[in-house]
Structure 1
Amino acid sequence: MSDPLTPDRVASVLRAEGVRVVEVGNWRTHNRNSKGPWGPLNGSIVHHTVTRGTASTVAMVRDGHAALPGPLCHGMIAKDGRVHMVGWGRTNHAGGGDSKVLEQVIAESYGTRPTPPTRGNSNGVDGNARFYGWECENLGDGKDPWPKAQYDAIVRVQAALCRAHDWSAKSVIGHLEWSSDKVDPRGFTMAKLRADVAERLKHPASWNPGSDHEEDPMAGITKRDIFDAVWKTDAIGGPTDAADHSTNPTWQPQSILKDMQARIRSMDKRMAAQTAAITVLAGQVGTGADTQTVVSAVEAAIERAVIDVNINTGEA
């Protein structure tokens, strides 16, 4: 049993574990403490939301819904791996559950999973007082994928709590392992999650898988970094260097690719037209100049120009 971490402490241990924390409004004091106790705590429960869309999901777990007031968890783990903190204290996430499961979690005495629960929300012991709760953005249909970033964040969150409380991974359970009338989380097994949490706990909080042997050259590099390095160059026309910004007003890479493809086709057409014109012209001059020599010279000059060109976005 442990006293709950303070808001400052939990934010600190999550970030130390490599979690990207988003603090939502007054999460530090947003709770249901007026309805019952919170603590001592015995573990952490993982849920899925049965929703799609991060912004709407954050709003739902923070404010609740007609049948259940919020907050509905302590943090919501989004598809991109960010953890949105929405409440701290007692929250409506666990409901009633099996007392035998609670005993096994406290003692960390079970094997790969606790004994299947026989009690549920209506007739079980109060889980809101005993567990941290983490909702994870997923439809919960067994088909909606769990992106690597999201799953990694789930592991890191649970490892951070276990590390802070000196718990083993067996203090982490799924809602379906707590309550007989729940099925979440669906799409991965809690045995696998606990194994991954246990592996993290063998390493420092700063550990990243693979970093024991060699440094990942892409570590810390975001899509924005790649975008800025590859696309925002002087060699590629964009909205900042053309009078007409209509070809790519929002700096989307796919728009740039389409624009470049159109320009290449246009240059191909111009080259063909120029070649034909020069052929006719050379024949009309009557000076005895070899037509193919003229054409080849012009083509070579154009090819050199294409290699060195800085594409003008003002050209069609």
Structure 2
Amino acid sequence: MATPMSAGSLLAGLRAEGLTVVEVGNWSHHNRNHKGPWGPVHGVMIHHTATSGGPRSVELCRDGRTGLPGPLCHGVITKDGRVHLVGYGRANHAGLGDDDVLRAVIAEQALPPANEANTDGNRYFYGFECENLGNGKDPWPEAQLAAVERTAAAVCRHHGWTERSVIGHREWQPGKVDPRGFTMAWLRGRVGERLRQPVCGGAGAGATMLP
């Protein structure tokens, strides 16, 4: 069981992993907390946006769409490797998923197949959307993949989690396919390698403010 890190701790952790962070508007107070609790948190969930274009993807994830209000995640990782923070707190990203998967994440064990949708994932997971069409053909630039790795590692490092606490949306909710274009086992391997390295102390990191 883990209390969600503060918005300031997330920002500092991402910078410490060497990431360029873009703070979008009032991200640290933009959430869906009025719909239910956020926490305890147990893991990091990775998605693809099914959109193209960084600005469009960020705007969608911040504002949401008809029938699904934003924020749709905590951060959007664009193809250039920047992390755009769009929300902090409860976010509409995970939806209902499998309680057996949640128990495996908490225990940091191999995940069972997701075959139920009976548990509120928005309460328990950090969520990061990655700019990609999700058609299996849209490329994943190395800068973006490195940012996904570093982002997941930043959250895991803060909580003392291993790479087993990083899952894909498709591993949580039956019928989902995201993220498509790489395997989660491969990503967890990269996160595990990074967690065995010391943080870079913010070298090469930066921050930008957007309205």
Separation (CA, whole Å) in 1 of partners of 2:114 and 2:11? 32
Separation (CA, whole Å) in 2 of partners of 1:146 and 1:66? 28
Question: What residue number does 1:102 align with?
Answer: 102
Residue ranges of structure 1 left out of the alignment (5+ in a row): 208-218, 221-316
Task: Give the ranges of 4+ consecutive aligned residues of structure 1 lying more than 3 Å apart after TM superposition.
Answer: none
Separation (CA, whole Å) in 1 of partners of 2:8 and 2:156? 17
Matched residue type, 2:31: N
Question: What residue number does 1:131 align with?
Answer: 125
Q: Which has the higher strand share?
A: 2
Matched residue type, 2:115: T
Separation (CA, whole Å) in 1 of partners of 2:7 and 2:172? 25
SS in structure 2 of the partner of residue 88 of structure 1:
coil
Alignment of 1:150-299 (within 5 A): 150-206=144-200
Q: Which has the higher helix share?
A: 1
Matched residue type, 2:99: S
Matched residue type, 1:206: C
Separation (CA, whole Å) in 2 of partners of 1:164 and 1:9? 8
Question: What residue number does 1:118 align with?
Answer: 115
SS in structure 2 of the partner of residue 44 of structure 1:
strand
Separation (CA, whole Å) in 1 of partners of 2:48 and 2:109? 26
Separation (CA, whole Å) in 1 of partners of 2:102 and 2:73? 19
Instruction: Give 1:67 deviation, angstroms.
Output: 2.0
Matched residue type, 2:153: A
Give aligned-pair identity as a percent.
59
Superposed CA deviations along residues 100-153 of structure 1, whole A, max 9, x for unmatched, are 00000000121xxx1110013xxx200000000000000000000000000000
Question: What residue number does 2:80 align with?
Answer: 80
Question: What residue number does 1:43 align with?
Answer: 43
Question: What residue number does 2:136 align with?
Answer: 142
Instruction: Give 1:97 deviation, angstroms.
Output: 0.3
SS in structure 2 of the partner of residue 141 of structure 1:
coil
Question: What residue number does 2:69 align with?
Answer: 69
Instruction: Give 1:27 deviation, angstroms.
Output: 0.2
Count of paired positions = 204
Separation (CA, whole Å) in 1 of partners of 2:143 and 2:48? 16
SS in structure 1 of the partner of residue 55 of structure 2:
helix
Matched residue type, 2:124: R
Please give the root-mean-square deviation of Cα atoms over the aligned residues, in Å: 1.4
Separation (CA, whole Å) in 1 of partners of 2:19 and 2:67? 31
- Normalising by structure 1, report the TM-score: 0.63
